[in-house]
Structure 1
Amino acid sequence: MHINSTVLSGQGVLQNIDYLINDRNHILFVTDKNIINLAPVQQLIKEIKATAPHVTLVDDIPPEPSNHDVDALLKRMAVADADLVVGVGGGSVLDVAKLLSVLCVKSSGVTLESLLAGEKPTKRCTSLLIPTTAGTGSEATPNAILAIPEKNTKQGIISPVMLPDYVCLVPELTTSMPKRIAASTGVDALCHLIECFTATISNPVGNNYALMGMQKLFKHIESSTNNANDLEGKLNMLWASYYGGAAIAHAGTHLVHAMSYPLGGKYHIPHGVANAILLVPCMEFVRDAVVDKFAQAYDLLPDANLVLTAEQKSIELVKYFRGLVERLGLPTKLQELNVSPDDLPYLVDAALDVKRLMNNVPKTVKREDVLAIYQSLL
């Protein structure tokens, strides 16, 4: 998949994007109630309103949006053609912005229902995505993930047409993240990187993105989480997240994400938190099938012991994952999130039904394997 987005990054980069918003007739600005109050975002909205004759502001994208949320938004907007969609926020906001870049083109011929049914879009309006968390990598993926309440799970709408024209990585926009969100979104980025690197459909292009991303993430995830004003660390985490998204675009995630989808769909557990709980047991399960790749990843740790054997390195990498989740203060047991043991049969069936991702797992996964992983977290 060819990613042809123009990426602008660094402190103050929002002060130099006039050329992106000038000469637009209708700009659709998509964000949420928390992000819209940030001073740089307010300034950007002010500049947009001073430039474009028509501005539609959507500031109520919920966390983990559902198909019903997007459908209600479309009806409320009475969607007209837009010249430019600007999405500013976390993964949920960016996913909805990508969908709107397609659905706000009347001549696209697609609807939300047809996209969920598998129809592929062929056109979109110009789009600019600005992440405010360093985790989802949505700005670099062709995916938009929606909750489907009727099925207690999530579904991905996937098309390279949704890849944005422009991306801005602005570290000062991530300084307002609470520590818990910085931690969970950072681990989400880690899951993207290590899963894509070890997936059955991994390839040299995706692997390069994954390795570059892990090198940045291992060095900066803890310092940038613990110090909200670590702008260098924040920028490196934004790049790690972007590389994770680019790895998804060229490969794909597998076991962690397949098993986290039902947790998010049924219990509405934040995606990064669900991934953090599953990271260690899922990586323990696949380790023996990807020893050499785990060893490569281990070598990127700042304090890696390079004299260890590949087998030893792979084991130490899983230990690092366990320690990282604990040091970041993220949940490690499902009881902490009020998940009932009675729901395990449903969770197992729902996870196995995410065949798009289960097919990427680097070893055979049986029903009893998935059940054992969930049970290990009780």
Structure 2
Amino acid sequence: MLNMLPRIIYPREMVIKKGSLIRLKFLDGKKAFIICGGQSFEKSGYLEKLEKHLAASKIEIVAVKRIIKDPTEDSINTIMTQLKDLNADWIIGVGGGAVMDTAKLIYALYENQNIPLSDFKAPHSVPELRKKAKLCLIPTTAGSGSEVSNSAVVTINNKKTPIISNHFIPDIAILDPNLTISLPPEITAHTSIDAFTHGIESYCSSLNNALTNSYSVAGAKLIVENLEEVIASPSNIIAREKLMYGSMLTGLAQSMTSVGGVHALSHSLASEIELSHGNLNAIFLIPMLKFNMQESPRIEEFIQQIGLGGIERLEEWISRISENTKMVKKWGAYGKEINVNEVSEATLEDISARTNPRKLTVEGVKSILEMTF
């Protein structure tokens, strides 16, 4: 009952500015375990900067683990075998949504080493953390909002599973737009569409409230106003920073309200095919909104508040982004053998479906899958 109330839970500290990675120079602690992305973070020179900042704060880096795929229960358990005896008092996740989700899941197991990850599938079942370490999250994309959210998605038994816990909200979130400069336009688009979807689904969630509504609208408006500029001019640091603000705001909103049918369907299909979460959201967003509009006037209300006027202009914006970044527009080529009945049933079971503004049905989800095939 408590967790169905509109609770307001923030990171203990957020730092948002060009060059804010320097905040690491002032951490209190002794040992840090770093979880980061692939080679690009190192090639950009920012891994070296991170190491220098931590050295200045006299924090020893006990290990660096690079993540190149979305987390699975097996991959999390493998990392845990390396971490459990290192006595880290900071877990630092630097990367996109998959990296930060991995950091959260590692943190949960590091603090509770005798509990399997699968025991955390029920919402808010992660025991209290911060007995051994603190959590710092640093995004290198403007999209997932994971740096301020209470969720982490992991594959358990071949099924994408959101793990929900307010203990995942970090002690420090550092949002430095410099870290996003080298992000390719395609990934920029995928992650930003995900962030936009957080905004509109939070606004229409059955748990929405006045505060989250203001975050959703402000964040989505920043994304709409700046995404195309960043795609056209990737080094525009001002637009990059505004995108990060937008992603952070919609991330805060969805962390308090959850999301809806777009995310539920994306989670379910992502267990079956190799398409990015953001690309799947782009495929399903307009059809799901049209499905929900039959019972929710809040969708048109939201679209008007962010300056797009109506669903047609939103559809044009999504289509333009997709064209300019070569997004996949139909999922069928990636999943011809998929059982749509099973995916539809899994969508209804996903926790995100609970807060969709219209009750989802197997037939309704199947119709969306078929029209986007």
Tell me if both proteins adopt one fold, taking TM over 0.5 as the criterion. yes
* 1:127 corresponding residue in structure 2: 135
Q: Distance in 2 between matches of 1:259 and 1:269?
A: 13
- Pick one of 23, 26, 45 that aligns with 1:19: 26
Provide closer, same or farther for how the CA distance between residues 222 and 33 of structure 1 changes in structure 2, counting only shifts above 3 A: same
Q: Distance in 2 between matches of 1:207 and 1:299?
A: 11
* 2:331 corresponding residue in structure 1: 334
Are the counterparts in 2 of residues 33 and 59 from structure 1 also a CA contact under 8 Å? no
- Pick one of 354, 368, 372 that aligns with 1:373: 368
- The answer to whether the aligner puts 1:222 opposite 2:228 as a matched pair is yes
Within a 5 Å distance, the mapping from 1:211-360 to structure 2 comes to 211-301=217-307, 304=308, 313-336=310-333, 338-340=334-336, 342-354=338-350, 356-360=351-355
Give the match's secondary structure for 1:86. Answer: strand
Provide closer, same or farther for how the CA distance between residues 79 and 157 of structure 1 changes in structure 2, counting only shifts above 3 A: farther
Q: What displacement does 1:192 show?
A: 0.6
Query: Which 5+ residue runs of structure 1 have no aligned equivalent?
Result: 306-312
Provide closer, same or farther for how the CA distance between residues 12 and 259 of structure 1 changes in structure 2, counting only shifts above 3 A: same
Q: Distance in 1 between matches of 2:168 and 2:141?
A: 20
- Pick one of 126, 140, 143 that aligns with 2:148: 140
The letter for the 2-side match of 1:332 is K
Q: Distance in 2 between matches of 1:78 and 1:321?
A: 44
Are the counterparts in 1 of residues 200 and 216 from structure 2 also a CA contact under 8 Å? yes
Q: Distance in 2 between matches of 1:330 and 1:160?
A: 33
- Pick one of 113, 117, 129 that aligns with 1:112: 117
- Pick one of 53, 59, 67 that aligns with 2:65: 59
- Pick one of 70, 85, 103 that aligns with 2:91: 85
Are the counterparts in 1 of residues 24 and 53 from structure 2 also a CA contact under 8 Å? no
Give the superposed CA RMSD. 2.2
Give the match's secondary structure for 1:71. Answer: helix
Q: What displacement does 1:69 show?
A: 0.5
Q: Distance in 1 between matches of 2:185 and 2:120?
A: 35
Q: What displacement does 1:51 show?
A: 4.4
* 1:6 corresponding residue in structure 2: 13
Q: Distance in 2 between matches of 1:200 and 1:53?
A: 44
The letter for the 2-side match of 1:350 is A
Write out per-residue CA displacement over residues 89-134 of structure 1, whole angstroms, 9 at most, x where no aligned residue: 000111111223333336x864434324663221222221110011
The letter for the 1-side match of 2:335 is V
Query: Which 5+ residue runs of structure 2 have no aligned equivalent?
Result: 1-6
Write out per-residue CA displacement over residues 270-309 of structure 1, whole angstroms, 9 at most, x where no aligned residue: 21111111112111211232334423332322xx45xxxx
Provide closer, same or farther for how the CA distance between residues 114 and 79 of structure 1 changes in structure 2, counting only shifts above 3 A: farther
Q: Distance in 2 between matches of 1:104 and 1:213?
A: 33
Q: What displacement does 1:145 show?
A: 0.9
Are the counterparts in 2 of residues 222 and 328 from structure 1 also a CA contact under 8 Å? no
Q: Equivalent pairs: percent with the same residue?
A: 25
Are the counterparts in 1 of residues 24 and 54 from structure 2 also a CA contact under 8 Å? no
Give the match's secondary structure for 1:329. Answer: coil
Q: Distance in 2 between matches of 1:52 and 1:326?
A: 48
Are the counterparts in 1 of residues 215 and 252 from structure 2 also a CA contact under 8 Å? yes
Are the counterparts in 2 of residues 14 and 170 from structure 1 also a CA contact under 8 Å? yes
Write out per-residue CA displacement over residues 305-332 of structure 1, whole angstroms, 9 at most, x where no aligned residue: 5xxxxxxx34544444444434443211
Q: What displacement does 1:258 show?
A: 0.6
Give the match's secondary structure for 1:331. Answer: coil
Are the counterparts in 1 of residues 24 and 50 from structure 2 also a CA contact under 8 Å? no
Provide closer, same or farther for how the CA distance between residues 322 and 284 of structure 1 changes in structure 2, counting only shifts above 3 A: farther
